[in-house]
Amino acid sequence: MNDQAAALRQIVRNMRENREPQEGREAGPPAARVVTVTSGKGGVGKTNFTVNLALGLAQRGKKVLIIDADFGFANVDLLLGATPQHDLSELISGERGVDEIICDGPMGIKFISGGSGVFDLVGVEERRLSGVVGSLIGLENLADIIIFDTGAGMSGNILRMIEASAEVIVVTTPEPTAIMDAYSLVKTVVLKNNSSTELRLVINKAESSGEAKSTADRFCGIVSHYLDREIQQIGYILSDETVIKAVKRQSPFMLSYPKGEAAGCMRDIVSEFLHEQGQEKKTGLRSFFRNLLSSAAVGVQ
């Protein structure tokens, strides 16, 4: 374990040293805006939100890449009606190159079926890991915005992904158990002294705008009062039968029912998302993987 931790720390040091291009060498791809979407419990519509957020951003002219990091129930492909032939684990094992695991989605979005592959990085030997991480950082050539869709809950792997991210969107519903689980997730992140992560909140499946706003206000108020932390509200999605119809059709509601209430809500979220940070928060994949591997090095000691 100590050897593995030492190898991970060496990779992190190399990434820090190579952050700036050396004289005579070209700079790498411009940093993308990296966002992690997560939830305190399953069943709140997190992955459906992720897919439709990506499409809403694409409609605004953004190049988007989704990395499905839900190792338990990876289903971005199902919501897109796609059947990927390869996934991130095959890049990790060396069976495939990064270009071979990228899938095309509607409106020009790209996605990678990841599963446990993101976390398998921790077990890769040092020389191989350097090449894999370098390939993944190169994905910034493809996208302005890269979205990681995590599993639900508070496993160690999910928390490490959240801690590695500069920006996290927490999806919940007004259901009391969902709110409690979302609060527990936020509390865990805050108590781990991760002050650099910007937290966002989306209320999904709300019966009315009033319910959504009152739920978000209460949630943010509790976080502010008890955790001394701000969490930015970026919108809500109303309960809409077109969402269920779209899932059954394996077609995102932004495409199947663009005039539905849910689609209108998503367009509002996209506007707020783009307005809130503009293009300032482009920490990129290099920073994400550096943080992820630093956390992993601590975990394997």
pLDDT digits (tens, 9 = 90+) for 75-87: 788 888 788 888 8
Buried/exposed 119-151: b ≥16 CB within 10 Å, e otherwise: bbbbebeeeebbebbeebbebbebbbbbbbbbb
Strand partners, 171: 202
Question: How far is it, in rounded angstroms, from Cα 48 to Cα 29?
Answer: 29
294 three-state secondary structure = helix
Q: Which tens digit of pLDDT belongs to each residue from 153-176?
A: 878 778 888 888 889 999 999 999
The whole-model pTM stands at: 0.87
Task: Kindly provide the b/e burial profile for residues 2-40, where b requires at least 16 CB atoms within 10 angstroms of the residue's own CB.
Answer: eebbebbbebbeebeeeeeeeeeeeebeebbbbbbbbbb
Split at pLDDT 50, 70, 90, the class of 151 is confident
